[in-house]
């Protein structure tokens, strides 16, 4: 199975400052169709996960543009340009290129 390793697991942030979460995969996530199926999710306390980013860098509808996703080989990054109070929660990366789908361990973002 593909292992998705997130870092850090805990991320203290300052309001208005940038933040970055890394996710490293144990193998290439480029699918045979040429796409790379990496999603990022936000899970606020007591809520269901919410998809923020799909296919590495595409922001979902309604997601603030302060969230962005990028990749460099097998390293994937979620960036928040200026953290706001509502961004508190746990963030997960997930790969959907190889069966079985696998998630990172989660990164807890707290002010």
Partner 1 sequence: QVQLVQSGAEVKKPGASMKVSCKTSGYSFTGYFMHWVRQAPGQGLEWMGWINPNSGGTSYAQKFQGRVTMTRDTSISTAYMELSRLRSDDTAIYYCARGDFDYWGQGTLVTVSS
Residues that bind partner 1 (CB under 8 A): 39, 41, 48-51, 54, 60, 92, 94, 96, 99-106
Residues 34 and 85 sit within 8 Å (Cβ to Cβ): no
Distances, alpha carbon 50 to alpha carbons 72, 78, 92, in Å: 24, 14, 10
Q: Which is nearer to partner 1, 81 or 108 (CB)?
A: 108
Give me the least distance between CB of 11 and partner 1, in Å please.
15
Query: Quick one: 71 or 81, whose CB is closer to partner 1?
Result: 71
In this complex, which beta carbon is closest to partner 1, that of residue 14 or of residue 35?
35
Least CB distance to partner 1 at residue 12 (A): 19
Minimum gap (Å) between residue 1 Cβ and partner 1: 9
DSSP sequence for 8-62:
-SEEE--TTS-EEEEEEESS--B-TTS-B-EEEEEE-TTS--EEEEETTTEEPTT
């Amino acid at each position: 199975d593909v292992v998705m390793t997130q870092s850090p697991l805990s991320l203290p942030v300052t309001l208005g400052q940038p933040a970055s979460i890394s996710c490293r995969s144990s193998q290439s996530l480029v699918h045979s169709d040429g796409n790379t199926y990496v999603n990022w999710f936000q899970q606020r306390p007591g809520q269901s996960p919410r998809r923020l980013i799909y296919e590495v860098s595409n922001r979902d509808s309604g997601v603030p543009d302060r969230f962005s996703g990028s990749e460099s080989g097998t390293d994937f990054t979620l960036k928040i340009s200026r953290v706001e109070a509502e961004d508190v929660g746990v963030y997960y990366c997930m790969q959907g290129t190889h069966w079985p789908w696998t998630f990172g361990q989660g990164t807890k973002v707290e002010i």
